[in-house]
Amino acid sequence: MRIAIIVDGRGKSGRLADVVSKASAAFVSGNHEVETIEASDSSSVSLAAYEYVIVGAEQQGFERRISDRLATFMKGARSAAGRRSAAFVLGSGLFPSKFLSTLMKSMEAEGMIVNDFSVVTLATIGTFIRGLPLQRRI
């Protein structure tokens, strides 16, 4: 299965990159093809080639809204409507579950079907990945 992991790399701690690399390794060991896509304002990406899309972000300070960069990227992404997806945020900051809810609402506004979500850490990302419903639809 082809999987895209879209990340908002504005976090300066490097923890998001560590979590994404661990998630990618877990997918590859499960015989899936994974591509990590960095959210940026300038590019318009087509998600038609991917069967499953995962969006990950790191909360910055007290903000509960997603970055303008990630919001613009998701609005510009082609073929997002109807795409099966999951969302995760790093378990840091104040009220990460509210930040996760905001991320999921923005994904659903673009037509994505969010069927799994979690607040994760480096230790819990493997459990989150194993629990994703990655079966192919027939």
Taking only the tens place, the pLDDT of each residue in 2-51 is 999 999 866 657 888 899 999 999 999 988 999 999 887 556 788 999 99
- Could you tell me the two tokens for 33? 């093809």
Spans of all domains in the chain? 2-130
The pLDDT value recorded for residue 44 is 77
Please report the pLDDT score of residue 122 as a whole number.
92
Q: Are strands 84-90 and 113-120 parallel, antiparallel or unpaired?
A: parallel
The DSSP annotation for 70-137 comes to HHHHHHH-BT-TT-EEEEEEES-SS-HHHHHHHHHHHHHHTT-EEEEEEEE-TTTHHHHHHTS--PPP
> What is the Cα–Cα distance from 136 to 10, expressed in whole angstroms?
32
* 54-77 pLDDT tens trace: 999 988 777 778 888 888 888 888
CATH of region 2-130, choose from 3.40.50.300, 3.90.1300.10, 3.30.360.10, 3.40.50.360: 3.40.50.360
Give the integer Cα–Cα distance in Å for 97 and 108: 16
State residue 83's pLDDT score. Answer: 92
Compute CA 37 distance to the chain's CA centroid, rounded to the nearest angstrom: 10
Phi, psi (degrees; rounded to nearest 5) at 43 = -105, 145
Question: What is the pLDDT, as a whole number, of residue 43?
Answer: 67
Query: Tens digit of pLDDT for each residue in 97-123?
Result: 999 999 999 999 999 999 999 999 999
Q: Report how far residue 110's alpha carbon sits from residue 119's, in angstroms, rounded to the nearest whole number.
A: 21
pLDDT band at 136 (very low <50, low <70, confident <90, very high): low
Beta bridge partners of 118: 88
pLDDT attached to residue 10? 66
Tell me what the mean pLDDT of segment 124-135 comes to.
89
SS3 content of the chain, % helix, strand, coil (to 5): 30, 25, 45
